[in-house]
Amino acid sequence: MTISYTRLVLAVIFIASSSILLLSCGKSTEQTTEQQGTQKDSVISSTEPIVSTNHSQLLTTIIGRQGGIFRGFQLGDPVSKIKTEETFELFEDTTNHVGFTYETENFEAIDVLYYLDKNKNLSGVKIDVYLNDSTAVKSLLEQFDTYLSGKYTPDKKANTDKTRFWKGKGGILVRLEDVSKGKDFGLRLSIGPKGNPAMAI
């Protein structure tokens, strides 16, 4: 009778400890599965591709107001006019240029430098457009090519794989470059007379 009672107590202890062990393993597995699910979700969301901007719309944003050499401004316009009428955000104000910037909803950015002569009048413009990928660069480059070829005279003899040129009235030169390097993608547009800082490479 004593042996049976001891066996019964040991059996109960064995079953109880086995149950606790199984429950704790199940809970640990559940937490691991939940953690993996959370990690998987965060990996998926961080690697989703950024949808690129419609590039004809982006071109319209870059060009801004029609007229002038760029965004409605003419060479010789005073810096006060640029500061008053430019809709992008001012980020730089020095003696020889003022800089404005704009960021799209898709994290593409436009930086515009308006170069000034000694009288603080517009002498040239340099525009850097930062894009998300090579497809965006190619698409916007074609959009720019069409727009600039309608506004200026193409200088196809000077063109290279990465650079295109145009000539305007009054000795204005226009250069559009694919300045992409590695994982950094972008275009640079320079407008001004020969020798102007905007035209420096």
- The secondary element (H helix, E strand) that includes residue 146 is helix 134-151
Can you give the pLDDT at residue 106?
Answer: 86
* Tokens representing residue 179 in the block: 């300045």
Residue 45 has pLDDT above 70, yes or no: no
- The secondary element (H helix, E strand) that includes residue 148 is helix 134-151
* Tokens representing residue 13 in the block: 């202890």
DSSP string, 149-183: HHHSEE-GGG--SSEEEEE-GGGEEEEEEE--BTT
Cα-based torsion angle of the residue sequence 114, 117, 121, 124 in order, rounded to the nearest 10 degrees: -40
- Summarised one tens digit per residue, pLDDT across range 135-156 is 999 999 999 999 999 999 999 8
User: By percentage, how much of the chain surpasses pLDDT 90?
Assistant: 57
Can you give the pLDDT at residue 138?
Answer: 93
DSSP string, 30-96: HHHHHHHHHHHHHHHHHHSPPPPPPHHHHHHHHH-SSSTTBTTB-TT-BHHHHHHH--SEEEEE-SS
- Contact yes or no for 116/97 (Cβ under 8 A): yes
Can you give the pLDDT at residue 122?
Answer: 97
pTM of the model: 0.71
Can you give the pLDDT at residue 114?
Answer: 97
- Summarised one tens digit per residue, pLDDT across range 174-185 is 999 999 999 999
Q: How far apart are CA 174 and CA 79, in angstroms?
A: 21
- Summarised one tens digit per residue, pLDDT across range 9-39 is 555 555 655 555 555 555 444 444 444 444 4
- Helix 134-151 and helix 55-63: axis angle, to 10°? 50
What's CA 148's distance to the chain center, in Å? 22
Closest CA to 124 of 76, 65, 92: 76
